[in-house]
Amino acid sequence: MKQFFPACQLRNLTLALAACAALACPSFGQGTNPNLIPEEQQKQNTDQQLKQRSLEQTPVASAPKVDPQEEAAYKAFYDAKAADADTRIQLGQDFVQKYPASHYAESVYAGLTQAYYMKQDWKDFYASGDKAVALNPDDAAILVMVGWVIPHGLDPNDPDAVKNLDKAERYEKHAIEVVGTMTKPASMTDDQFAQSKAALLSQAHSGLGLIYFRLQQTDDSVKELQQATQSATAPDPTDLFVLGVGLQSLSRFSEAADAFGRCGQIQSPLQDRCKQSADAAKKQAK
């Protein structure tokens, strides 16, 4: 059984992780996956994700005819602008209350998870995410999203801290398995599909890296964060900073300086600290 050891010497970093989650550092919705892209692009891609889900869930000719009111309710939810999280939440809640057994329910819960993320309503975010996963245990996008948020917003003093981290680890590892067996949707090009899978994997490794950081499993954390930051088109500065901390603790000072240096080139709340840490690691490497 894993044991959780609070990283007392890294309290400030713990606050930085929580702040990153609150500021929506990554985007969860490039096509059907998360990636580090600007917030405005995130809103557009959330719409794209819902559209993809809608296409994939369109009833086949032999299926029972869907209630036109149910179709209209789902269309209203889908058509609501991603930026208008309040409207999407209201429409989504109304939909699942009225049509709890709908074949669209998982898609709506996934959309609600996105909306609650934007609202920083973590209680409902987790509740909606778990409901989406219960309906579709192979929803890689939701698995990755929830698994990523848990270590960022974790309270080390929470008696369920280890339990939550174990859950996040299961989610991320299963998401990686699912990505490995994905088949390309007809609506996506080969390049789009490859980019979507790569982004999902990058974010999953990011989540695992921060989970292992929280558990003070430094070697595992470093390995995961190296994969996350090497494959990401726009690396998360928090990942780079935690990677630098891990490498520094392993006395791999030159590599730590490089990670801190990359972090210092990205505008973020950690930028100045990364620059200072890079200078310190360079001195240690001499």
User: Does residue 21 contact residue 149 with C-beta atoms inside 8 Å?
Assistant: yes
277 is a domain residue: no
Per-residue pLDDT tens, the chain, 286 aa: give them: 343 333 433 444 554 555 455 444 443 432 222 333 334 434 444 444 554 454 444 443 445 567 899 999 999 998 998 889 999 999 999 999 999 999 999 999 999 999 999 999 999 999 999 999 999 999 999 999 999 999 998 988 899 999 999 999 999 999 999 999 999 888 889 999 999 999 999 999 999 999 999 999 999 999 999 999 997 778 999 999 999 999 999 999 999 999 999 999 999 999 999 999 999 999 998 8
d(CA 3, CA 1): 7
196 is a domain residue: yes
Domain count, the chain: 1
- Identify the CATH number of the domain in which residue 145 sits: 1.25.40.10
1 is a domain residue: no
202 is a domain residue: yes
Q: Is 281 left (phi over 0), alpha (psi -120 to 50) or beta?
A: alpha
273 is a domain residue: no
116 is a domain residue: yes
pLDDT, residue 258, reads 96
pLDDT, residue 276, reads 95
Residue 193, domain extent: 8-55+64-234
pLDDT, residue 64, reads 57
User: Does residue 224 contact residue 212 with C-beta atoms inside 8 Å?
Assistant: yes
pLDDT, residue 18, reads 52
pLDDT, residue 197, reads 92
d(CA 13, CA 8): 10
270 is a domain residue: no
257 is a domain residue: no
pLDDT, residue 56, reads 46
Residues 6+ apart with CB under 8 A from 166: 2
